C-alpha cells in the first residue's frame, strides 16, 4: 500500500510538472521587457534608406522607417541606432566616413554593460561585394547582355566574391564575440538579408547580364549561410529574412526590394517599407 501511495504521489508531481504554467510564465516577451536598452548595428539593409525622416548622421541614409525603429516602437525599447549605409564588419571597431558626411564612430562604441538587446545586420558589404554587383556588374552587362561577365569561371568579380565568402563566417564570429565582450548581458540577434534577386527570369529593373542572374541570387544566399553559420558558432540567434521575402525580389510582381528605378519610397537595390515591416515581425517572433 505504501508503494502504491508513493506511485500516486510521483504521478501527481509529474502531471503537475507537465501542466501549463501561469500565463505570465508563458509570455517570453519578458526576456526583452519594455524600457530595455536596444542597440542596432548594421549596414544600409538595416538603416532603411529613403523610408522616412532621417534619424542618423549625414550620408548614413538611416531613417525612421527602418526595422530598428519599428521594433523599438513595437516593444517600447530605448533605441540607439548606429546603422549606416556602406558599413562593413570593419566599421564595428573602426570609424566610417559615409558619402558627403563626417566620420562616425565605430558602431561598437554604442554598446555597454547595460545594453539588453543587439541586432546585427551586416556582412554583404565586406570587400565591396554587393556594391560592385549592382554597379560594376551592371555596367559590364551593357556590353554583354546575354553573357556572364561577372560570374563566368575566372571572372575577376567571381574570384573576389569566392575569397570574401570564404572569410565571412570567421569575420562575423569575431564580430559577434566583440559585441558579447562589450555587452555581456545583451541578447544578440543576427539579421540576414532578403531574397533580392529572382529565382528565374530577368527584368529591366535589374539590368544584369542574363548569365549573371543565377550567381547574384546564389551570392546573397551564401552570405546568409555565412551569417547563420557564424551565429550558430557564437551561440546567438539568427533571423532568416530570405525565407520570409522569397518571391518578393526586385523582379517580382509584388517587389519588396527596389530596382534601378524605385516604384515607391526607397533607394535603388534596397528594401521598401514592406520588407522592413516583415523583418520587424520576424524579430518580434524571435524575441518572444
- CATH number of the CATH domain containing 157: 3.40.50.1110
Question: Is 22 among the domain residues?
Answer: no
User: Cα dihedral sign for 213, 218, 221, 223?
Assistant: negative
Give me the sign of the Cα torsion angle 95, 60, 99, 101. negative
What is the rounded radius of gyration, in angstroms, for the C-alpha atoms of the chain?
22
With 0-12 CB in 10 A as exposed, 13-18 as middle and 19+ as buried, what is 237? middle
261 within some domain: yes
pLDDT means over runs of 10, the chain (288 residues): 41 41 37 94 98 97 98 98 97 96 97 98 95 95 95 95 95 98 97 98 97 97 98 98 98 98 98 98 96
Q: Tell me, what's the pLDDT at 30?
A: 44
Q: How far apart are CA 288 and CA 283, in angstroms?
A: 9
Report pLDDT for 16: 41
Element holding 282 (H helix, E strand)? helix 273-287
Residue 280 lies in a domain: yes
> Using an 8 Å Cβ cutoff, are 248 and 199 in contact?
no
Catalytic residue among 69, 91, 248, 270: 270
Residue 264 located in a structural domain: yes
Range of the domain at 109: 32-287
Whether 44 sits among the annotated catalytic residues: the reply is: yes
Q: Positive or negative, the Cα torsion across 22, 24, 29, 31?
A: negative
| Structural domains counted in the chain | 1
Q: Is 91 a catalytic residue?
A: no
| Structural domain contains residue 4 | no
Q: Specify the pTM.
A: 0.88
- 147 is a domain residue: yes
Does residue 1 fall inside a structural domain?
A: no
- pLDDT value of position 81: 98
Spot the catalytic one: 36, 37, 44, 46: 44
Q: Is 8 domain-assigned?
A: no
pLDDT reported for residue 233: 97
**What is the per-residue pLDDT for 31?**
72
Amino acid at each position: 500500500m505504501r508503494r502504491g501511495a508513493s506511485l500516486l504521489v510521483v504521478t501527481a508531481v509529474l502531471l503537475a510538472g507537465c501542466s501549463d504554467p501561469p500565463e505570465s510564465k508563458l509570455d517570453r516577451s519578458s526576456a526583452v521587457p519594455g524600457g530595455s536598452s536596444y542597440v542596432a548595428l548594421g549596414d544600409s539593409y538595416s538603416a532603411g534608406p529613403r523610408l522616412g525622416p532621417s534619424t542618423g548622421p549625414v550620408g548614413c541614409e538611416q531613417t525612421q522607417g527602418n526595422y530598428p525603429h519599428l521594433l523599438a516602437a513595437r516593444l517600447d525599447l530605448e533605441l540607439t541606432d548606429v546603422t549606416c549605409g556602406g558599413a562593413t564588419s570593419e566599421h564595428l571597431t573602426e570609424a566610417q566616413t559615409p558619402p558627403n558626411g563626417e566620420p562616425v564612430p565605430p558602431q561598437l562604441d554604442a554598446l555597454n554593460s547595460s545594453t539588453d538587446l543587439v541586432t546585427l545586420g551586416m556582412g554583404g558589404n565586406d570587400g565591396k561585394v554587393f556594391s560592385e554587383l549592382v554597379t560594376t556588374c551592371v555596367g559590364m552587362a551593357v556590353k554583354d547582355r546575354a553573357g556572364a561577365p561577372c560570374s563566368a569561371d575566372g571572372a575577376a568579380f567571381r574570384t573576389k566574391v569566392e575569397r570574401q565568402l570564404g572569410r565571412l563566417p570567421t569575420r562575423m564570429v569575431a564580430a559577434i564575440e566583440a559585441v558579447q565582450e562589450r555587452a555581456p548581458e545583451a541578447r544578440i540577434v543576427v539579421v540576414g538579408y532578403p531574397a533580392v534577386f529572382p529565382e528565374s527570369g530577368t527584368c529591366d529593373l535589374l539590368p544584369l547580364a542574363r548569365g549573371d542572374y543565377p550567381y547574384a541570387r546564389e551570392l546573397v544566399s551564401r552570405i546568409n549561410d555565412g551569417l547563420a553559420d557564424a551565429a550558430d558558432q557564437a551561440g546567438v540567434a539568427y533571423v532568416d529574412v530570405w525565407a520570409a521575402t522569397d518571391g518578393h525580389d526586385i523582379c517580382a510582381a509584388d517587389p519588396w526590394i527596389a530596382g534601378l528605378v524605385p516604384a515607391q519610397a526607397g533607394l535603388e537595390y534596397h528594401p521598401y517599407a514592406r520588407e522592413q515591416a516583415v523583418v520587424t515581425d520576424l524579430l518580434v517572433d524571435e524575441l518572444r
